[in-house]
A and B are shown apart, each in its own frame.
Chain A
């Protein structure tokens, strides 16, 4: 039972096939409590497809996804209420103000004391001066910041971040990364993080899952990966894997 509780995400033999194209090919991985796991790989490696399967936006062709020890397929609403996500391809409603958009999502995630929660998020993410501005009038970076605040609206135990700092300048990206880590550490949740920013990935990850052509080609801590591949940094590993994917780990 303890083992079940520890595992926040457990993916078993997950396959996603679009006709003859194999987007995700028989992958297995786990994310444990308090763990930050990054999915890393070139474009088309299957990172976003995995995130979207965890969010029930895409149905697996076969395989099994368990979150908090329960089958996602059978407990969709219950499990999604304990998760949240942000991604650059999914913006908040541009015709609502920041505060209104956060209220909509607080309601959709069933938060009864939404006023308090929104107040907390506005303070925590320094959104006071953006609160009454329409989301569509915000810069891309500001929209990402609001998107990250939205991802915390339900105090999630599992956070899926698909390139969360993609449009941010380095200073704001660093500040937001620190904020994300602080909030997640406080709640004892886990994060599944994708990014093309190798420095970011190295900084935040307890473990990195390298993907190539829908398959897991490496799954280890940043330091162990560097040792295993004999490289100084993740970028070199990324490039070598992209050039010639190694055989799958046993």
Chain B
């Protein structure tokens, strides 16, 4: 791996983000507005229902919101790093350079890590100050959950890039739609037990389901959800490997059918 290549991709994206107000707003603005939305909902929830359950529920909703936002951000920053090259008609220059696919993906992943970490470090103190949510109460268990949302976001990002390579720039909407599609089936704001039994079995393959199910158990039962962490990590490793193979396949197809040059023409 040539780290100059990885740094080139990282430098290109960070240079762009740090001086673009709309991009900074996309990084910090959405999450702030959403925090207020979910924060006020939890303030209301805390006034209804019986005693401790109110607090737990409020805590669950807000924690779930923060981790889902991190997942979305990880995926979005990854996909948008590639889409930037398509939108600016620069993508041919990238694919004609000596960068390897693994270096390109590593560069995008690095951009995603930095953005997601910044957003996490920004939003958690605000959630604590305004809505009394101390996400750090989860202790060190926060690390495997955070890592898993990050990695799952990359996997979806890789799939989204593959779809854009195959179907052209008009498929960029998929980069924003796929996480939305996963949301209802990932048991983010409710337990898996509310799903019909068939859906419970089907959603077992989603790493996100295990992340959020495990996080809920850590908060409500105070136990270390080893099984959820192991399942989420294992499924994530398989999912990321498959997504990488998918991107390879799409690129091969694009090179065979001449789709890469179409990326700057549509």
Residues on A close to B: CB < 8 A?
18, 48-49, 52, 55-59, 76-78, 80-81, 85, 87, 89-96, 100, 103-112, 136, 150
| A52 to B91 CA separation, bound complex (whole angstroms) | 13
A57 engages B12 (CB within 8 Å): no
Question: Which residues of chain A are within 8 angstroms of B8 by Cβ–Cβ distance?
Answer: 104-108
Q: Which 8 A-B pairs have the closest CB atoms?
A: A107-B8, A90-B92, A81-B98, A80-B98, A55-B96, A59-B255, A108-B8, A108-B97
Question: Which residues of chain A are within 8 angstroms of B15 by Cβ–Cβ distance?
Answer: 96, 100
Question: Which residues of chain A are within 8 angstroms of B88 by Cβ–Cβ distance?
Answer: 91, 93-95, 136
With A90-B89, A103-B11 in contact, is A95–B256 under 8 Å at CB? Answer: no
Q: Taking the complex as formed, is B4 at the interface, i.e. its CB lies under 8 A from any CB of chain A?
A: yes
Which of B45-53, B204-212, B213-221, B257-265 interfaces with chain A?
B257-265
With A18-B258, A112-B4 in contact, is A57–B95 under 8 Å at CB? Answer: yes
Task: Give the residues from 6 to 32 in chain B that come closer than 8 angstroms, CB to CB, to chain A.
Answer: 7-9, 11-12, 15-16, 20
B258 engages A77 (CB within 8 Å): no
B99 engages A108 (CB within 8 Å): yes
B97 engages A89 (CB within 8 Å): no
Question: Which residues of chain B are within 8 angstroms of A109 by Cβ–Cβ distance?
Answer: 97-98
Q: Which of B90, B96, B258 contacts A56 (CB 8 A)?
A: B96
Judged by DSSP, the binding face of B is helix
Give 5 new A-B contacts, CB below 8 A, not counting A76-B98, A91-B90, A105-B8: A57-B260, A58-B260, A58-B261, A59-B252, A96-B16
5 A–B contact pairs at CB < 8 A? A59-B252, A92-B93, A95-B20, A104-B11, A110-B2
**Tally of B interface residues using CB under 8 Å:** 34
CB proximity of B84 to chain A, nearest CB, Å:
7
CB proximity of A20 to chain B, nearest CB, Å:
14
| A104 to B5 CA separation, bound complex (whole angstroms) | 9
| A245 to B141 CA separation, bound complex (whole angstroms) | 72
Question: Which residues of chain B are within 8 angstroms of A111 by Cβ–Cβ distance?
Answer: 4
Q: Which of B5, B94, B258 contacts A110 (CB 8 A)?
A: B5
Question: Which residues of chain B are within 8 angstroms of A108 by Cβ–Cβ distance?
Answer: 4-5, 8-9, 94, 97-99
With A90-B264, A93-B88, A112-B4 in contact, is A105–B96 under 8 Å at CB? Answer: no
B11 engages A18 (CB within 8 Å): no
Question: Which residues of chain B are within 8 angstroms of A91 by Cβ–Cβ distance?
Answer: 88-90
Which of chain B's residues has its CB closest to A54's CB? B96
Question: Which residues of chain B are within 8 angstroms of A59 by Cβ–Cβ distance?
Answer: 252, 255-256
Question: Which residues of chain B are within 8 angstroms of A80 by Cβ–Cβ distance?
Answer: 96-98
Which of chain B's residues has its CB closest to A97's CB? B15
Interface string of B183-220 (1 = CB under 8 A from A): 00000000000000000000000000000000000000
Question: Which residues of chain A are within 8 angstroms of B90 by Cβ–Cβ distance?
Answer: 90-93
A105 engages B97 (CB within 8 Å): yes
Task: Give the residues from 230 to 246 in chain B that come closer than 8 angstroms, CB to CB, to chain A.
Answer: none
Q: Which of B9, B11, B93 contacts A90 (CB 8 A)?
A: B93
Task: Give the residues from 67 to 99 in chain B that come closer than 8 angstroms, CB to CB, to chain A.
Answer: 84-85, 88-90, 92-99
| A95 to B89 CA separation, bound complex (whole angstroms) | 11
CB proximity of B173 to chain A, nearest CB, Å:
21
